[in-house]
Every structure is written in C-alpha cells, then in structure tokens.
Structure 1
Amino acid sequence: MVSNPERRIALLDAAIETLADEGARGLTFRMVDGRAAVPIGTTSNYFASRDDLLTQVAAHLYVRFAPDPDELDRAAAASTVDELIMVMQGVVARLIERRSVYLAMLELRLEATRRPALQEMFTERVRDDLAANVAGHAASGAPGDRNTVIVLYVALAGLIIEQLTLPGVLADEGSTDDLVALVVRSVAGD
C-alpha cells in the first residue's frame, strides 16, 4: 500500500462526496479516482478492498465531523437550558452544513446493516460518543440527566435527517434553530 497521507485524505474525502451523491452502490474505486482527479487505479493502491475503503471512510467521517475547540468549550460550560439550546443549535447547524458528510454517514450506516464489521465499528464508536456526551453533560451541570442526553441524541438525529432529506415537512414549524429549541425545552424542561 502507498503511503502519502495527503492523497489518502483526498481519496477519503472524494469517497465521502461519492457516497453523498451516488450512494453506497455508486462507491467504486474508479468513481473515487475520478472525483479525486487522480489516475485510474490510485484508490486501489491505497485501499486493499472496497470493505477497507468503507471502513476507513467511516473512521474519516469523524475527522470531518469534529467540532472546533470553541464549540467543545461552550458544551462543557452549558449549565442552563438556554445555554444547552445554543450548544445543540451549534451542533445541528454544523452537521447540516456538512451535508455531504452526514449523507455519507447515513449511507454507511445503511451499508452497515449488511456488513457486520462496519456495523460493529459504528456501534462501538457511537456508543463511546454517547457515553462521552452523557459524562460531559453531567460534568457541565446542564439540566437533565442521562435520559436527557439520549432523547436529545435520538430527536436531534431525526431532525437532522428530516432537514437534509425532506426539509419541507417541518418548514411551517419554524427554523431549524426554532425546532432545536423546541426539542431541548421539551426534553430538558424550562
């Protein structure tokens, strides 16, 4: 396997864009080569198989989703419902802004229903992230408990999917920020 970290990242980013635009069935080495504007065969030099590419793309999604340090600081300091709303609005906005990344993640999660190794990787990662969010929520003194974090995770994930795939469904209910505030107030009180 070739070791050029910048090119590997470019190929992973091209795979994310391909997944978002074409779906998992459209993800081929040739398609990634074309999207990354590299010679045909380059992707196969970096990834041993399609499963290897899928697994590495899944891991790379988390690099692309990563919040900036300021967002982490705001989350750690959120101790009121209003502060929690602002944090959750920022998270949802970041994930919606990274539309291709989120759509690629959805494609990979669907693909994980057919690929046990991918499902295991996602399950472990999401479970660890959820546990870290529960711990961070408790440490910040934000309103609510473990169940609050779990319900926010489920509800806001659904909201993001709705806004990315069928934005007209909730269009009359207010902006995305309004909907996030509704969810947080319903779950965390106030």
Structure 2
Amino acid sequence: MNQDRRDRLRDAAIAVLAREGGRGLTHRAVDAEAVVPTGTAKNYFPTRDALLRAAAERCAEQYRVPAATVAQTGPEAGPGPFDAAQLAALLAGLLRNAAGPGRTRVLAYLELRAEAARRPWLATLLDPVAAADFAAHAYLLRAAGLPAGPERARALTLALHGAVPHLLTGTPATLAAAGLDDLDRFTRELLAAVCEEETG
C-alpha cells in the first residue's frame, strides 16, 4: 500500500480524534479529513480497532518529535541542563508545545487513553509513550544536579502529565488556580517542591 497515503490517513485520524473525540472517529470522517475518496480509510484500516491502532501508532511516532528536545540532552548528546533553571525552562517549553503546536497530537492521545480503558490492547501501544517520561525525567534531574531518586522522577512526571489536561481545557481561572498561567514559574516551583530535601 502507498505509505504516503497511509500516513495521510493516520494524520487525519489524529485530527478527527482531537476535534470530534473517540465517538467521532469513523472511516467516513477520516476520509473526509484526508480528502480522499470514500472507502479509502476502510481499505487501509478495515475495522475501527485497526483505525484506533493506526492512530495510536502515529501518536507514538509524533511523540518522538518533542521528546527529541529531551533526547538532545541525553548521555550521548552531552551533559544536559546544567542547573535547575535550565531544566525548568526546558520543561516549560515542553508544556508550551503540548498546549500549542502539539495540541492536536496531545488531545488525540488523551482520547486514545480513554479508549484504552475499554481496550487493554490499546494501552500496550500507548504505555511506552508515558513510561519513557519517567526515565527521561530521572536523567534530567540528575543532569541538572538535583535529587533524582525514583520517587522524585515519578512525582515530577505525574505532575507534568496532570498539568496537560488543564492546559488544554482550563479556563483562565482554573489555570491561575493551578499555577499554569505562568509556565516558567510553574516549572520552577514544581522542581523546588519535587526536589526539596527531606529533613529529620
């Protein structure tokens, strides 16, 4: 099959998921979004589960684009952020990407996570996307010279993941209440809370 058209259909599925939600993901909607003849999506992805699988795989591929920002600070690319301020700026940039250029991808991913509650096989495709963040954040904490035990990496990762739905859907009042009206301040304060030294 034509790989370019296949990717076009997968991108269309992501767009439909982001705009219409899981219930709106149909072969006909994907055909219309991709501007291809009716029946094209069904020819490439015969069932709805196949369409969901294609969208999940595309989400995982697209995740690697912002993740490359983190990868550029990995062991093979150099020492990474030198201090907490640089790490806070990097994390704020990733949140801005999720709410801006990456918004469609992230909305589609969240819709797919909801579908995975009823389709365990879908969770196996999506879990590596989230799981990779735990290791990445642990590395970044170490690279910035901050405490980086597993519990701190978990706390940082879960806080960032929890922030994303609010960024995508929150009213100004909600964003302010969550501290997300200023992402630079939010990530600085988050790192300070996560890395606060234990006493006693």
TM-score, length-scaled by structure 1: 0.87
Match of 1:171 in 2: 176
With over 3 angstroms needed to count, the CA separation of the structure-2 counterparts of 1:103 and 1:90, relative to structure 1, is: same
Map 1:15-54 onto structure 2 (within 5 A): 15-54=13-52
Note the residue ranges of structure 2 that are not aligned, 5 or more in a row: none
Distance 2:138 2:192 in 1: 20
Match of 2:71 in 1: 72
Give the aligned CA root-mean-square deviation in angstroms. 2.3
How far does residue 20 in structure 1 lie from its aligned partner after superposition? 0.8
How far does residue 167 in structure 1 lie from its aligned partner after superposition? 3.7
Contact 1:30 1:41 in 2 (8 A): yes
Answering whether residue 15 of structure 2 is matched by residue 12 of structure 1, we say: no
The number of equivalent residue pairs is 187
Distance 2:96 2:176 in 1: 16
Contact 1:61 1:101 in 2 (8 A): yes
Answering whether residue 187 of structure 2 is matched by residue 180 of structure 1, we say: yes
Identity across aligned pairs (percent)?
32
Distance 2:137 2:61 in 1: 21
Match of 1:143 in 2: 146
Distance 1:117 1:20 in 2: 21
| More off after superposition, 3-12 vs 101-110 | 3-12
| More off after superposition, 108-117 vs 67-76 | 67-76
How far does residue 116 in structure 1 lie from its aligned partner after superposition? 1.4
TM-score, length-scaled by structure 2: 0.83
Match of 2:109 in 1: 105
Matched residue SS, 2:72: helix
Note the residue ranges of structure 1 that are not aligned, 5 or more in a row: none
Deviations 1:12-65 (A, max 9, x none): 111111001110010000000001100000001111311111112111112222
How far does residue 150 in structure 1 lie from its aligned partner after superposition? 1.1
With over 3 angstroms needed to count, the CA separation of the structure-2 counterparts of 1:57 and 1:151, relative to structure 1, is: same
Matched residue SS, 1:170: helix
Contact 1:14 1:35 in 2 (8 A): yes
Deviations 1:65-121 (A, max 9, x none): 222755532465124211210121121112222111111111000000000110222
